[in-house]
């Protein structure tokens, strides 16, 4: 008799109800048990406890991030291994990108932005990614960090362009509404927030560190009077915290930054500025609970070339954390990674670096959490960044490879946690209440000079004279300088044009002579414009803006220079696409009207022989009647191919995306006092929405058939600016809609399908 038959399987396994089945399984069960035992002996660390299991009795949070691809498809991301790894190892989590303004605010500026209520602004926000994050049951027991409410970076282009032209009051108001709207989306599901991110400048002009300049919210420091106090960064940031507390009353609120970790008493240092400002903000009523130390660190700062820990470095950061503790402020380690650069340290030395940093941080009574910025080396932002910024740097995270294999760095974190004493409580201090009064926190107001955009031709020839438009805000008599230069080392400047401007905002056209000796090159040049004090050069510039990907054409240049068609078309239209190209003999220009995602159905193709040299053509594309109505679903794809070629043979291409197919075929404004209004279809609801200016006058909508007969009329109450026009009962065809409001009137042509 096999000895395994003697083993009595516990009832919990259902042995008594199905003896035969379990007797059969017993050898398998035993093998599994012995394998498990072997694992425990062989690899005490990984088989014993995950980081989160180690952290549980110590009452600390060890976290990591969820990338966009991970959030979009947790079950399949990295062969389905990333998400189980996250849940097994960590008890805290942050979204790497999807909570940032560029993903939450709409792609275009909402209409009438300054008159929106919080609810109306909320309705323009994209909440689905945040919702997917906060409502996923698999992540229910992970502590959630919100990243980030207000940040100068990863904000939509329109905000960066228009907000510098707003008043201080408008910047304060918009910020308040955005934070409150974000609060409506998140409810009480976020535990802590990076309320403002990276607000401190990387520069210390005249030996004094300052707040970051040149941000979209720069007008918050223009010294104007607002309902919330004088427009200074100090007052603005205080109010950001007040609104964040109002929006998220249960969450801990942090100011988050990089390069602030090591203690430094110089007023030029970022560390001193951060400590002084965090304390001052709290003192003047900002409900600020703590500071996020991003902690993007470099291994060679932490260990010697023989692997000996630099204890001064760790002690210096400890001093910063303790200094903040003395002011009743917490610290969270929010984006930890320790990169290895130029192979100057053995990657195994990360173990001692991660261990020392985490143990020091977790040992501070005012620090309870460490979040690591990346699940694996291969997916970490340092590895992924390919613009030379981190040339030679890599291997920043604590695991690597397809199987999420722990590196020595992982063992360092585990040892740090194991070394901590068990605790009953996390020991968070009570939330800082702050006060909601308009701010009076001081600060030096100034209006930052700025370059908001540069717009020049994307393809030029040696000897050309071109016009480059520069949009700027000057605060004194200053210089606008435009360079035409190489976009890669040695960044040769071929032309420099200096224009004097006086104080004010505006756009100037700068004439740039492209010298005869500029070598040809596709996408190898750029225009850089900066604004600097009168007579001073780039080293003293306040702000700059670069237009990349400029080409110097030669005889054999082969590229599509530009291709621009209408952003919205209707079935039956003929869309005209203006194409500019440079080609050689034996090539064709092809333009497709097609879906802009898989299966990329092509509804129409235009094809024409390309003339050698630089040329402009108009490609006419008939939009067939059966193209489905949809917003943002199509593209014009313009390619240069050898004659007869297709996508695989393309030499160059440009695609214009986000094209709509709509049922409004054309818009004609007319009538007395030209009433400006917009009509757009809502095919799912079977109606048209009509947007008219808010007014105390009622609006009269009249729909005429193509023959001029009135087919529908409706009177809409005064004060409404969004109206719905139900056209269910009206047969397909062409109609004219006339809207009369007071003495203003306008007409549009509609196509009902
Ligand atoms: O990891 C983020 C990366 O995917 C984004 O492209 C990048 C854009 O700036 O932001 C990275 O995350 C940053 C974080 O939001 C703020 N601190 C610095 C982080 C690394 O750049």
Write down the pLDDT at residue 1: 32
User: Which ligand 1 atom lies nearest to the CA of residue 68?
Assistant: 4
The answer to whether 614 and 606 have CB atoms below 8 angstroms apart is no
- What's the confidence (pLDDT) of residue 452? 86
CA distances from 230 to 213, 220, 221, 323, 436 (A): 17, 9, 8, 30, 15
CA-CA distances (angstroms) from residue 619 to 49, 465, 593, 622, 677? 64, 28, 11, 10, 31
Beta strands in 184-251 (DSSP E): 192-197, 225-226, 229-230
Q: Which residues face 705 on adjacent strands?
A: 735
CA of 343 to the centre of ligand 1 (A): 23
Q: Is the pLDDT of residue 704 over 60?
A: yes
Tell me the average pLDDT of the chain.
Answer: 89
Tens digits of residue pLDDT in 15-44: 333 333 333 344 444 444 444 444 444 343
Of 86-100, 295-309, 675-689, 704-718, minimum mean pLDDT range? 675-689
User: Are 284 and 249 in contact, with CB atoms under 8 Å apart?
Assistant: no
Q: Which atom of ligand 1 lies nearest, measured to the CA of 153?
A: 9
On the question of pLDDT at 54 being above 60, the answer is yes
Tell me the CA–centroid distance for residue 354 and ligand 1, in Å. 21
Report the distance separating Cα 740 and Cα 672, nearest Å: 9
Q: Do residues 369 and 92 touch, judged by C-beta distance below 8 A?
A: yes
What is d(CA 606, CA 657) in angstroms, rounded to the nearest whole number? Answer: 17
Lowest mean pLDDT among 68-82, 173-187, 308-322, 628-642: 628-642
**Model pLDDT, residue 40:** 43
Say how many Å lie between the CA of residue 94 and the centre of ligand 1.
12
Tokens 């106090």 -> residue: 229
Ligand 1 atom at minimum distance from 148 CA:
15
* pLDDT, position 161: 83
Q: How confident is the model at residue 562 (pLDDT cuts 50, 70, 90)?
A: very high
Separation CA 33–CA 35 (nearest Å): 5
Pocket test for ligand 1, best of 64, 68, 97, 196 (most atoms within 8 A of CB): 97
Cα–ligand 1 centroid distance for 390 (angstroms): 13
Q: What is the pLDDT of residue 386?
A: 66
**Please, what are the domains in the chain?**
1-72+295-427 (no CATH), 92-290 (3.20.20.80), 450-553 (2.60.40.2550), 559-662 (2.60.40.10), 666-752 (2.60.40.3080)
The Cα–Cα gap between 248 and 419 comes to 34
Whether 227 and 172 have beta carbons less than 8 Å apart is answered as yes
Q: How far is the CA of 387 from the centre of ligand 1 (A)?
A: 14
Burial class (CB in 10 A: 0-12, 13-18, 19+), 108: exposed
Average pLDDT over residues 371-392: 88
Question: Which alpha helices (H) appear in 552-630, and where do they start and end?
Answer: none
Q: Is the pLDDT of residue 97 over 60?
A: yes
Classify strands 710-716 and 229-230 as parallel, antiparallel or unpaired. unpaired
- Report yes or no: 320 and 271 within 8 Å, Cβ to Cβ: yes
Q: In this predicted structure, what is the pLDDT of residue 49?
A: 92
* pLDDT tens for each residue of 197-233: 999 999 898 899 999 988 999 999 999 999 999 999 9
Q: How distant is the alpha carbon of residue 468 from its chain centre?
A: 28
Mean pLDDT (whole number) for 454-469: 96
The answer on pLDDT for 191 being more than 60 is yes
**Which residue of 257, 339, 381 sits with most ligand 1 atoms within 8 Å of its CB, as the best mutation to test the pocket?**
381
Cα(212)–Cα(215) distance, integer angstroms: 7
pLDDT value for 2: 34
Per the DSSP assignment, residues forming a β-bridge with 298 are 339
In this prediction, residue 24 carries a pLDDT of: 39
From the number of C-beta atoms within 10 Å of its C-beta (0-12, 13-18, 19+), residue 297 rates as: buried
Q: Is the pLDDT of residue 470 over 80?
A: yes
pLDDT confidence band for 683 (50 / 70 / 90): low
**Tens digits of residue pLDDT in 648-657:** 999 999 999 9
Cβ < 6 Å from ligand 1: which residues?
A: 96-97, 153-154, 197, 258, 294, 335, 381
SS3 labels along 524-577 = EEEEEEEEEECCCCHHHCCEEEEEEEEEEECCCCCEEEEEECCCEECCCCEEEE
- Across the range 636-651, mean pLDDT stands at 97
pLDDT digits (tens, 9 = 90+) for 419-450: 999 999 999 999 999 999 999 999 999 988 88
Predicted confidence at residue 387, as pLDDT, reads 66
Confidence of residue 663 (pLDDT cuts 50, 70, 90): low
Q: Among the atoms of ligand 1, which is closest to the Cα of residue 381? A: 1
**Tens digits of residue pLDDT in 568-580:** 888 888 999 999 9
Q: Where does residue 164 rank: exposed (0-12), middle (13-18), buried (19+ CB within 10 A)? A: buried
Tokens of 601: 């159905």
Q: pLDDT for 143-175, tens place per residue?
A: 999 999 999 999 998 998 889 889 999 999 999
* End-to-end CA gap in the chain: 81
Q: Average of pLDDT values for 599-618?
A: 96
% of the chain with per-residue pLDDT over 70: 90
Number of the ligand 1 atom closest to the C-alpha atom of 373: 1
Q: Nearest residue CA, atom 21 of ligand 1?
A: 381
- Tell me what the mean pLDDT of segment 663-668 comes to: 49
Residue to mutate, 65, 154, 194, ligand 1, most ligand atoms under 8 Å from C-beta: 154
Q: Are 629 and 474 in contact (CB under 8 A)?
A: no
């Amino acid at each position: 008799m096999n000895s395994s038959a003697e083993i009595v399987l516990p009832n919990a396994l259902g042995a008594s109800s199905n003896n035969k089945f379990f007797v059969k399984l017993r050898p398998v069960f035993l093998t599994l048990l012995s394998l498990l035992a072997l694992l425990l002996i062989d690899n005490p660390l990984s088989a014993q406890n995950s980081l989160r299991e180690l952290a549980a009795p110590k009452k600390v949070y060890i976290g990591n991030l969820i990338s966009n691809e991970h959030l979009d498809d947790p079950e399949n991301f990295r062969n389905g291994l990333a998400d189980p790894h996250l849940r097994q190892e960590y008890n805290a989590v942050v979204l790497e990108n999807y909570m940032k303004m560029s993903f939450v605010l709409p792609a275009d500026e909402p209409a009438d932005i300054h008159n929106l209520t919080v609810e109306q602004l909320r309705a323009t926000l994209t909440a689905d990614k945040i919702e997917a994050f906060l409502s996923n049951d698999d992540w229910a027991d992970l502590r959630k960090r919100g990243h980030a409410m207000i940040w100068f970076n990863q904000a939509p282009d329109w905000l960066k362009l228009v907000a510098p032209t707003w008043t201080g009051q408008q910047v304060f108001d918009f910020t308040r509404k955005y934070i409150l709207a974000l609060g409506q989306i998140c409810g009480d599901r976020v535990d802590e927030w990076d309320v403002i991110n990276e607000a401190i400048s990387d520069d210390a002009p005249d030996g004094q560190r300052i707040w970051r300049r040149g941000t979209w919210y720069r007008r918050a420091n223009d010294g104007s009077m607002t309902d919330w106090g004088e427009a200074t960064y100090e007052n603005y940031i205080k109010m950001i915290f007040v609104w964040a507390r109002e929006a998220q009353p249960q969450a801990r609120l942090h100011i988050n930054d990089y390069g602030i970790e090591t203690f430094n008493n110089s007023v030029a240092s970022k560390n001193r500025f951060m400590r002084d400002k965090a304390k001052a903000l709290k003192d003047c009523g900002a409900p600020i609970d703590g500071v996020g130390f991003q902690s993007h660190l470099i291994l060679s700062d932490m260990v010697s070339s023989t692997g000996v820990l630099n204890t001064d470095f760790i002690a210096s950061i400890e001093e910063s954390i303790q200094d903040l503790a003395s002011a009743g402020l917490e610290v969270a380690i929010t984006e930890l990674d320790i990169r290895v650069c130029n192979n100057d340290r053995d990657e195994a030395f990360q173990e001692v670096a991660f261990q020392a940093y985490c143990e020091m941080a977790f040992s501070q009574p005012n620090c309870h959490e460490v979040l690591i910025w990346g699940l694996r080396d291969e997916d970490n932002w340092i590895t992924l960044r390919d613009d030379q910024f981190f040339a030679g740097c890599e291997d920043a995270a604590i695991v690597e490879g397809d199987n999420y294999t722990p590196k020595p760095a992982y063992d360092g974190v585990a040892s740090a946690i194991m070394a901590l004493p068990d605790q009953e409580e996390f020991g968070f201090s009570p939330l800082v209440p702050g006060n909601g009064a308009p701010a009076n926190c001081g600060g030096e107001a100034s209006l930052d000079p700025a370059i908001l955009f540069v717009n020049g031709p994307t393809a030029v020839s040696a000897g050309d004279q071109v016009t480059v438009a520069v949009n700027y805000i000057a605060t004194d008599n200053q210089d606008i300088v435009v360079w035409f230069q190489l976009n890669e080392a040695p960044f040769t400047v071929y032309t420099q044009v200096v224009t004097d401007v006086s104080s004010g905002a505006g756009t100037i056209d700068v004439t740039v002579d492209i010298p005869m000796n500029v070598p040809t090159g596709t996408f190898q040049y750029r225009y850089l414009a900066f604004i600097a004090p009168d007579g001073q050069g780039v080293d003293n510039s306040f702000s700059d803006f670069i237009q990349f990907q400029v080409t110097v054409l030669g005889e054999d240049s082969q590229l599509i220079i530009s291709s621009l068609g209408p952003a919205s078309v209707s079935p039956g239209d003929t869309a005209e696409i203006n194409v500019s190209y440079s080609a050689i003999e034996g090539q064709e220009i092809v333009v497709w009207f097609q879906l802009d995602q898989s299966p990329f159905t092509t509804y129409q193709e235009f094809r024409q022989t390309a003339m050698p040299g630089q040329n402009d053509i108009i490609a006419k594309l008939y939009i067939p009647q059966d193209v489905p109505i949809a917003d943002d679903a199509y593209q014009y794809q313009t390619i240069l191919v050898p004659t007869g070629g297709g996508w695989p043979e393309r030499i160059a291409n440009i695609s214009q995306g986000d094209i709509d197919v709509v049922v409004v075929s054309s818009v004609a404004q007319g009538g007395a006092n030209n009433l400006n209004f917009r009509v757009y279809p809502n095919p799912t609801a079977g109606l048209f929405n009509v947007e008219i200016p808010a007014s105390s006058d009622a609006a009269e909508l009249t729909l005429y058939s193509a023959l001029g007969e009135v087919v529908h009329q409706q009177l809409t109450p005064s004060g409404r600016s969004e109206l719905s026009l139900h056209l269910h009962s009206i047969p397909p065809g062409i109609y004219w809609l006339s809207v009369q409001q007071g003495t203003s009137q306008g007409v549009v042509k509609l196509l009902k399908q």
